[in-house]
Chains A and B, each alone.
Chain A
Amino acid sequence: MKRTVTGAVSSAASPGRIASAVIAVLAALGLTACGGAANPLSSNAGGGASSAPDTITIGSANFPESRLLAQIYATALTARGVKTTLKPNIGSREVYLPALKDGSIDLIPEYTGTLLQYLDKTAPQTSSEDVYAALPKALPPGLTVLDKATAEDKDAVVVSAATAQKFNLKSIADLAPHCAELTMGGPPEFQTRPDGLPGLTKNYGCTFKGYKSLDAGGPLTVAAVKDGTADAADLFTTDSSIAANNFVVLADPKSNFAAQNVVPLINAKKANDTVKQTLNAISAKLDTKALADLDARLSAPDHPDAAAVAKDWLASVGLG
């Protein structure tokens, strides 16, 4: 896997670099002792993690699909001669968006609907086109989105086959009368997001008995639905474990979850023509089927590297 690690921890450790890191740490501790600085998002004391002007630092959220998309961006950009570094697994949007704003990363694969609702809690748009059209205005200054892919990976309320049968569930509306007896599960941030618990309450009048903090569509959430720790859970629609476990994806007639097309979110300063063309070409080839296949490939029993999966896919669509 070809890759470099960014920030003060990059290239080989020389005595000079170690010394400067020690000084940075001492300076940072000195700051603490003197009462500290104010805003974590604006200042950059203690040695920056920002990347060089000609390098694009690509971040990813803390779930495999996001990592893979970041890897696809990185592989394609590198092939076009753009210098890239990867900063995978940063965390939830609540963490990586500030990182994008403070310049720690420059580019991250995003999902239109949930990004829009994060930026504008009252955004009414739900269709792919409307959401995408509303995004530029909602974005913080300096950030921009490039072309969206038709590929969608939506949050969805998922239940086990047994639960679906027991309550005769086809949609979240069917679930609503039973919410008070059920425990919902999902990532911690689902409790506070507009399309999370607040949205389910607002759109369906559904208030759950309890909420179990798990992970972002990962092994914990799947396990919790399987063993009944959570009666319903937030999973992603491209997740192959939904079919593998016979989980039932509940329909969302009130469009609590807006369209969630994959879209590159990028620092406008780093989006030169080569970068735009490369990323837009990827978006043009990426549909929901391709995304689901990529996810399934990544979690195949032979555990291929994200880099290899990315390279194969890019080659298969003529972008390699």
Chain B
Amino acid sequence: MSWLARNWPHILDLVRQHLELAGVPLLAGLLLSVPLGWLANRSVAARGLLLSVSGVLYTIPSLALLVVLPAVIGTKILNPVNVMVALTVYTIALLVRSVTDALGSVPTHVVSAADAMGFRPLRRFLTVELPLAVPVVVAGLRVAAVSNISLVSVGALIGVGGLGELFTDGFQLQFLTPIVVGIVGSVLLALLADAVLLVAGRALTPWERGARRAG
């Protein structure tokens, strides 16, 4: 306990770092997944390709990706961007599937109705299909957020790891307290992010509220 009190400012720093390392990729991943999911939904070939590529991406061990990224994208070794890019890759791997499913689940008659009302494809996509896809996309985002937050700590092995730093630290000093604090902190962050996304998803889809109550 006294350890926690003494190190509180440092831990807060790590929490902030942790959130940024996990949050930026979530945002970047979402921005990239929407057009990719749209593409996958337009053509069968693109769908097959994108889904199998994202499946393979997800199997790359995170530590390996972190280590080789500087060689691939030309960043400096200790640049936090390396961790962010790696997590963005995993986020895309998860979200492309969600976005594709979500867009695919928009009922055909709704799309036809929008067409009949004279919506152009872009406007139809942004104002009709995308909003209707929100619940499934948010479900994917929640999974990605939890996964990102627990993955950030692997970055500690290359010196950029948010709360994961407490794992390598505690391990080298054979001291459990920091490790336990790191685990608890990481889990709390994940649950918090999950809850925030859940609430945000509901706020974004007011029309679902009635349906939820009814069914």
Contacts and interface: CB of A to CB of B under 8 A. Distances in A.
B76 interface: yes
Nearest to B158: A91
B7 A45 contact: no
Interface stretch (A34-42, A158-166, A230-238): A34-42
Nearest to B84: A25
A88 interface: yes
B18 to A, nearest CB: 9
A204 B177 CA distance: 43
Interface in B102-151: none
Interface stretch (B20-28, B181-189, B198-206): B20-28
The secondary-structure label for the interface of chain B is helix
Interface in A1-54: 1-5, 7-9, 12-13, 18, 21-22, 24-26, 28-29, 31-32, 36-41, 43-50
A3 B28 CA distance: 29
> What bracket does the count of chain A residues touching chain B fall in?
35 or more
A62 B75 contact: no
Interface stretch (B44-52, B65-73, B93-101, B207-215): B65-73
Nearest to A45: B74
Given A25-B25, A89-B156, A40 B32 contact: no
A45 B88 CA distance: 17
Contacts of A4: 13
A98 interface: yes
A103 B75 CA distance: 12
The A interface, classified by DSSP as helix, strand, loop or mixed, is: loop
Q: State which size class the interface on B falls in.
A: 35 or more
Q: Which of A18, A47, A89, A99 is the most central at the interface, judged by chain B CB atoms within 10 Å of its CB?
A: A89
B9 interface: yes
Given A3-B13, A89-B168, A298-B173, A48 B20 contact: no
Given A87-B159, A99-B76, 18 more contacts: A3-B10, A3-B13, A4-B13, A21-B20, A25-B24, A28-B73, A40-B74, A41-B77, A44-B79, A48-B79, A49-B81, A88-B165, A99-B77, A99-B78, A102-B77, A218-B171, A303-B177, A305-B7
